A and B are shown apart, each in its own frame.
Chain A
Amino acid sequence: MDEYLVQVLSNIGMISFLALSAYILLITGEISFGQQAFFAIGAYASGIATAMWGWGFWPGLVWGAAAAGAAAFLLAWPTLRMRGLFFAIGTLAFAEMVRLIFEIFRYQVEIDGELVGPNGSEGFRGIRYIFEQDISAFHYMLLIYAVLAGVLALLFVIERTRLGAIWRMLGEDELLAETEGVNRTYYKVLATVVAGAVAGIGGALYAHMNTYLEPKIFNVMLGVHSLAYGLIGGLGTAFGPLIGVGIDIGLLESARIFSGYRMIVFGGLVALLLIFRPRGLLDEAAVHALVAWWRNTFSSPAKRSGGSGRPPERPGA
């Protein structure tokens, strides 16, 4: 496989975790500008684990996700009372604080006569686990997608259970959900923690692919982009954010004809899209229509004759 293609696909895979993280909060009705903070925490924690403590890759990944989840748990409490825009700005302030703390965070140990570890704004060099284990870029890409498939599967299971229904209920109308007996605190904190851990996994994968972390890259632009992906792709299913990432990184950043004009095209496209589909390409209505169409077309004839006999719905109708 072409080296450039592998790199683009790996980037799409890693940013997808961040987009999914923002998506989880979006379906519970919260706009977060701060998911990049958990991406950063996951990246630093797992990098420290493998490069400085000599851990393996998988324990490092789990540790990164756990650290990000724990940070999200801590953030969940003070932000619980913030609604809408306040939540957005609160998470923004939190994420910028995390980034600025990484700018001054120094923790280095000497390994083989070389200082390794986060060194403030100089960044964190030498997360070389993947190199040392001789894993090729192509295999690492497969690994990223395997983990992504796992997270996606988990999200699809969640959406089919009571938990998913409650999250969407809270996103639709918090007050109504509470009058139905939903424990808002519990489910909101849970959503924040799951979203944080998902972003942390992405960060851990990112740290090991790039071998080098710089606090600068975890800026608010990264967070707002990942938020926008869900809204471009649609909030109907977890596929939506992935479509958004694919459109931006896959189509625009990588297609060289747009080089230099990428953002003019991207910006215009997104603005137009939001005018005609304010909840994204694959929004809830589109997903329901697609599912209905699927059932009507592909279910067994016996089942169909026993059904209501209504004509198959067209997608997007």
Chain B
Amino acid sequence: MIVDFVQNTLDGIFVGSSYSLLAIGFTLIFGVMRRLNLSYGPSIMLGTFAGTLLFVEFEAGLLAVAAATLAGAVLAGVYVERVCFWAIRRGAALASMVSSFAIWMQLEEIVTVVFPDRTYPFPPLADFALEPGPFFVRGDHLVMFACAAAITVLLHLLLYRTRFGLALRAVSRNPAAAAFVGINTGLVLFSAFALASAIGGVAGYLIAAADQQITPFFGLWATFKGLIAMTLGGMGSIPGAIAGGLLLGIIEAHSGWYLGTEYRDLSAYAVLFAFLVFRPGGLFAQRQTLRSQLAARRV
């Protein structure tokens, strides 16, 4: 009993760390632009297919596959930024969102034209497992968790210890004022987008390596898992994205185990809906609103 519970929680945390990674990229874009990029998952999907192309055609090594995945995701992300965000004027958030949906359709079709089969193999990363006591932990899940932690720390340092991070936070808080003090807001937005896509690429690579296969449906899956995790944690908050991802993983693991697999996604959406009704600011709502109230008073 208790072993099952702990094992499920562990599984949830490890799977959840991949959701966290997806949510971090998502929340970074949302936090800076205040617009939703539905094409986030599909551009990661395009990256993983670039990786698999190298693997299937040229039997490339791990590093080359990882690099191709990352490069593909960033390239696709930059394309999305130019077409859906840069080209559409500020304020038309709705148009940006629909436009990113249109580009999603485009990316998905490009992938299915080039890769007509349903699934493609992806090279595994760490094919070992640990068995501490009665528990079972997959090696690739451990790597995923470590990567999520490392990216969180690096991102925190970047945002709070560098000039670029300062500029990014300034643009996020007030784009007009940021432009007024001489920040190149266009460049900052572009870099934030590329950075988010790179983080998404890492997430995509780790998830694909853990599953050892990819399908064009990965785009939809990644967008919605990222979106749910981001909303649970509070939109635009990076600690929230991490907590939200872990929470989503744990909810899924437990409901899948105790209620049956057909209730897994249903419970996740039910919790999401409950959060939106009772706690729309996400897990860390209180602190966030207080801080922004203080900031507003200072201005």
B-chain residues with CB within 8 Å of residue A220 when the two chains form the complex? 220, 224
Whether the Cβ atoms of B102 and A261 lie closer than 8 Å is: no
Cβ-defined partner of A97 (8 Å) among B99, B231, B266, B276: B266
How far apart are the CA atoms of A271 and B99 in the complex, in Å?
Answer: 5
- A224 and B101 in contact, given A94-B273, A104-B262 (Cβ under 8 angstroms): yes
Which chain A residues numbered 83 to 110 have a C-beta less than 8 Å away from chain B? 84-86, 88-90, 93-94, 96-97, 100-101, 103-104
Q: Is the CB of B276 within 8 A of A275?
A: no
CB-CB contacts of A273-302 with B at 8 A, as 1s and 0s? 011001100000000000000000000000
- Nearest chain A residue, comparing its CB with the CB of B230: A89
Do A31 and B276 have beta carbons less than 8 Å apart?
no
Q: Are A278 and B269 in contact (CB under 8 A)?
A: no
Q: Which of B98, B270, B272 contacts A274 (CB 8 A)?
A: B98
The 3 closest A-B pairs by CB, nearest first: A267-B106, A263-B109, A270-B102
Indicate if the CB atoms of A270 and B99 lie closer than 8 Å.
Answer: yes
Measured in the bound complex, the distance between the Cα atoms of B103 and A59 in whole Å is 42
Q: Which residues of B contact A94 (CB under 8 A)?
A: 269, 273
Distance A84 CA – B96 CA, assembled complex (angstroms): 14
Q: Answer yes or no: A15 CB below 8 A from chain B CBs.
A: no
Of B5-13, B85-93, B189-197, which stretch is located at the interface?
A: B85-93
Interface size on A, residues (CB 8 A): 41
Q: Is the Cβ of B98 less than 8 Å from the Cβ of A100? A: no
| Residues from chain A with Cβ under 8 Å of B121 in the complex | none
Seen from chain B, the residues whose Cβ lies within 8 Å of a Cβ on chain A are 36, 38, 83-84, 87-89, 92-99, 101-110, 113, 220, 224, 227-228, 231, 235, 262-263, 265-266, 269-270, 272-273, 276-277, 280
Q: Mark A111-133, 1 if CB is under 8 A from B, else 0.
A: 00000000001000000000000
A184 close to B (CB within 8 Å): no
Interface centre among A94, A97, A104 (most CB of B within 10 A): A97
Beta-carbon contact of A100 and B265 below 8 Å: yes
Complex contacts, A93 vs chain B, CB 8 Å = 228, 269-270, 272-273, 276
In chain A, what residue has the closest Cβ to B30? A85
> What residue in chain A is nearest B84 (Cβ atoms)?
A271
> From residue B110, how far is it (CB to closest CB) to chain A in Å?
6
Is A96 a contact partner of B265 (Cβ separation < 8 A)? yes
CB neighbours (8 Å) of A231 from chain B are 94-95, 98
Subset of 15 A-B contacts with CB under 8 Å: A78-B277, A84-B93, A85-B36, A86-B276, A86-B280, A89-B227, A97-B273, A103-B262, A260-B109, A267-B104, A267-B105, A271-B103, A271-B106, A275-B87, A279-B95
